[in-house]
Amino acid sequence: MKIFRRVVFLLFSAVFVVGTPKIIFYVLGYSFQPGVERGIVQSGLIFLSTAPPGAEIYVNGRRYGEPTPAIVSDLAPGDYSVRLLLKDHYPWARSIPVHAGKATVLGNILLRPKKAKWKNHIAQSYERLIPISGTHDLILWDGRNKVEVYDWALKKKNALFQSPEIHWRSIQRLIVSPESSAVIAIGQHDEKIRARWSKIAGSESWIPLPPEWRHFKVDDVMWDNRDERYLFGIRDGEVKRIDLYQKTAQHFLSDVRGLAVDNRNIFYLTGSDFLSMDVTGKSPRAIWNDADNFLGKEDNVRITPVSPERAFFLTPEGKFATNDPPRLISEKGIRGSAYDKKNQAVLYWDEKSLMAAEWVSVKSPKGEPIFEIKKRTLFSGARDIQTAFWAHDGAYVVYQDQNKVFLLEPQSFGAPFVYELFEVRRGSTVFFSEESGLVFYLDKNDGYLMSLELIPKWKVMEVPFAMIHEKVKELET
């Protein structure tokens, strides 16, 4: 027994002595590469995660034992041809660079199915599709007097503005607000321009318009979903607050160049200052004092608050900025933007290009952590970008160019990949829901509400706990 104990002890000691440096090497990314001058090199790895998971991995023609999600480690620096194969899906192949000590993360690869999943939600013809962001509601409008709302989660449809007392001659405009279950219709009613407020599956009422708004030539109307008592209309720099309970309209602000309502606060641009106050007009607060240095003197600046301290600004000329340094994101031509709160990245586009800006934490010369905006062009070469959305956790972009919809796979190490998906009804826009992975649109021929599944319902978890797989065997691809 004594000898046995000694042998076991020595064995375990040997395992520890031999194993410890190997573990340290492995953890820090060093490995022994035969054939290389120095022998021990700092390797890199590729992390691959796909939706759906389970794709076979081939690196430089060799198959790796386990499917995605997987970490392919012990790779000498260089470029690797990576190919992913999943049954009933198109192959995915790229040349991936690997750098010493670095992980090349491809954590959100979307494998496109050979048989796309289309669905016809409503077999009725519409001309316009207006999504209400932050909700499951899509406003469907035939361009005349028929307005309906479709809840894509519950798959229920309701009509709006159909009370017997309503005799629209024509609805001219529909206004929605993020996360709100209310819609405003502006149109000609009984020879007058009137505005009507409707809660989805709720009550409706006429909106009392100020006399000077008889023709309702208002630049914009907005409200906060948390306090739907007040509406704010802006016209020629003047903001009026409409009280839907008391049915009154009163002057609220002057010399306003841009206005937004969010989270029970009013955000507005006046003169050179960007300020906020609550919806009752109390607690004014300055957020940005020299905004005109970046935004110029234009009016009708579109403001999109994304947090109590951060907003985006888009001028009619297309100047795009934020109140965070370095503030100016693009000088001109920008048509729209979409913000990804989780990844702190904003997608913005002009007529022909899609671009992204991210806030990254870096160390200042003094060593303090600061945020910097990093900009990049995702794609150039479109014709007339109408709208765009981040998709699949910011790894992809769905965009509409004229009346065609595309899926863009940006690459940080190569040319982007663009896939054409479908055509839509002329004049209509699409809506992509990250929550459901569906793109909603109006069919180009009959205007039916359709959807295409882009991202499978069950997503892979993109955490670095995937199996690590060494080379198992060579297989023919």
Partner 1 sequence: MSRFQFSRIKHDCAERRFERKLEILPGLTSWSILVGLIVLSVLQPVWAAVIIIVFEFYWLLRLLYLTLFLAISYMRLALEEKTDWMERIKSLDILASDEPLGVSLERPGLKNQISDLIFRRELKRFRQSAEPSLKSSELYHLVIVPIFSESGEVLEPGIKSFAEGSFPARQIFVVFAVEERADPSVHAVARALLEKYREKFFDFRIVKHPDGIEGEARVKGANASFAAKAAREVLMNQNIRDEQVIVSCFDADTVVSRDYFACLTYSFMISPHRQRASFQPIPVYHNNIWDVPWFARILEMGASFFQLTEASHPDRLVTFSSHSMSFKALVEIGYWPVDMVSDDSAIFWKALFHYDGDYRTVPMYITLSMDAVNAGGWWETCVSVYKQKRRWAWGVENFPIVMRGLLQSKKISLFEKLRYGGKLFEGHIAWATWPLILTVIGWLPSLFMGGEFSGSVFYYTAPRTSGVIFNLAAVSLLTTIVLSLSLLPKKKMKHSFFRRAVHALEWLTIPLVAIFFSALPALEAQTRLMFAKYMEFWVSDKRR
361 binds partner 1 (CB under 8 A): yes
| 24 lies in the binding site for partner 1 (CB under 8 A) | yes
Q: Which of 2, 87, 115, 215 binds partner 1 (CB under 8 A)?
A: 2
Q: Which of 101, 296, 381, 414 is in the footprint of partner 1 by CB under 8 A?
A: 101
Count the alpha carbons within 13 Å of 203 in the hemisphere toward its beta carbon: 6
Alpha helix stretches (DSSP H) within 250-353: 292-295
Contact characters 310-339, partner 1, x per CB under 8 A: ------------------------------
Interface of this chain with partner 1, residues 204 to 243, rule: CB under 8 A: none
Query: Vertex 476, ends 473 and 477: CA angle to 5°?
Result: 110
147, 202, 141, 169: which is closest to 428 by C-alpha? 141
Residue among 15 and 159 whose Cβ is closer to partner 1: 15
In this complex, which beta carbon is closest to partner 1, that of residue 24 or of residue 159? 24
Residue 101 CB, nearest approach to partner 1 (Å): 6
Out of 36, 40, 201, 360, name the contact with partner 1 by CB under 8 A.
360
Q: Which string of x and - marks every residue 55-94 that binds partner 1 (by CB under 8 A)?
A: ----------------x-x---------------------
Name the minimum Å distance from CB 193 to partner 1.
53
What amino acid occupies position 153?
Answer: A
* 328-330 vs 320-322, strand pairing mode: antiparallel
What HEC string does 420-454 produce?
Answer: EEEEECCCCCCEEECCCCEEEEEECCCCCEEEEEC
Identity of the residue, 103 or 193, whose beta carbon is nearer to partner 1 in the bound complex: 103
What does the block give as tokens for 208? 């009392």
Report the 10 Å Cβ neighbour count for 167. 10
DSSP characters over 164-186: TT--EEEEEEEEE-TT-SEEEEE
Closest C-alpha among 105, 97, 90, 200 to residue 156: 200
* Beta-carbon contacts of residue 351 (< 8 Å; ≥ 6 apart): 333, 335, 382, 383, 384, 385
Check residue 9 for interaction with partner 1 (CB under 8 A).
Answer: yes
| Interface with partner 1, residue 36, by CB under 8 A | no
Q: How many CB atoms lie within 10 A of CB 102?
A: 14
Residue 461 in contact with partner 1, rule: CB under 8 A: no
Q: Which of residues 396-415 bind partner 1 (CB under 8 A)?
A: none
Task: Please identify, using beta-carbon distances, which residue of 24 and 116 lies nearer to partner 1.
Answer: 24
Residue 292, helix vs strand vs coil? helix
The span of 10-18, 199-207, 301-309, 312-320 binding partner 1 (CB under 8 A) equals 10-18
Neighbours of 286 (CB within 10 A): 9
Of the candidate residues 76, 244, 277, 468, the single one contacting partner 1 (CB under 8 A):
468
Based on the shown chain and the rule CB under 8 A, indicate whether residue 19 belongs to the binding site for partner 1: yes
Give the whole-angstrom CA distance, residue 303 versus residue 312: 6
- Residue 244, both tokens: 């839907």
Q: Which stretch binds partner 1 (CB under 8 A): 3-11, 284-292, 329-337, 413-421?
A: 3-11
- Residue 427 contacts partner 1 per CB under 8 A: no
Query: Segment near partner 1 (CB under 8 A), from 1-9, 297-305, 378-386, 448-456?
Result: 1-9
Q: Does 18 bind partner 1 (CB under 8 A)?
A: no
Task: Please name the residue ranges forming H helices in 307-358.
Answer: none
**Which of 45, 110, 279, 391 contacts partner 1 by CB under 8 A?**
45
Give me the least distance between CB of 71 and partner 1, in Å please: 5
Q: Which stretch binds partner 1 (CB under 8 A): 57-65, 96-104, 145-153, 330-338?
A: 96-104
From the list 7, 15, 40, 159, which residue makes contact with partner 1 (rule: CB under 8 A)?
Answer: 15
27 lies in the site for partner 1, by CB under 8 A? yes
Rg of the chain (C-alpha set) = 28
- Out of 10, 12, 36, 381, the residue judged to bind partner 1 by CB under 8 A: 12
| Residue with smaller CB distance to partner 1, 42 or 125 | 42
Verify binding: residue 32, partner 1, rule CB under 8 A: no
Smallest gap from Cβ 471 to partner 1, in A, equals 17
Pairing status of strand 273-278 against strand 265-270: antiparallel
| Min CB(68)–partner 1 separation in Å | 14
Q: What is the DSSP string of 389-414?
A: EEETTTTEEEEEETTEEEEEE--TTS
Q: 259: which residues sit within 8 A by CB, 6+ positions away?
A: 220, 222, 232, 234, 239, 253, 266, 267, 268, 269, 303
Q: Is 1 in the site for partner 1 (CB under 8 A)?
A: yes
Rounded to 5 degrees, φ, ψ at 430 are -105, 170
Residues in binding contact with partner 1, number by CB under 8 A:
33
357-375 exposure pattern, b = at least 16 Cβ within 10 A, e = fewer: bbeeeeeeeeeeeeeebee
Binding site for partner 1 (CB under 8 A): 1-2, 5, 8-9, 12, 15-16, 19-20, 23-24, 26-29, 42-45, 47, 71, 73, 101-103, 105, 360-361, 369, 464-465, 468
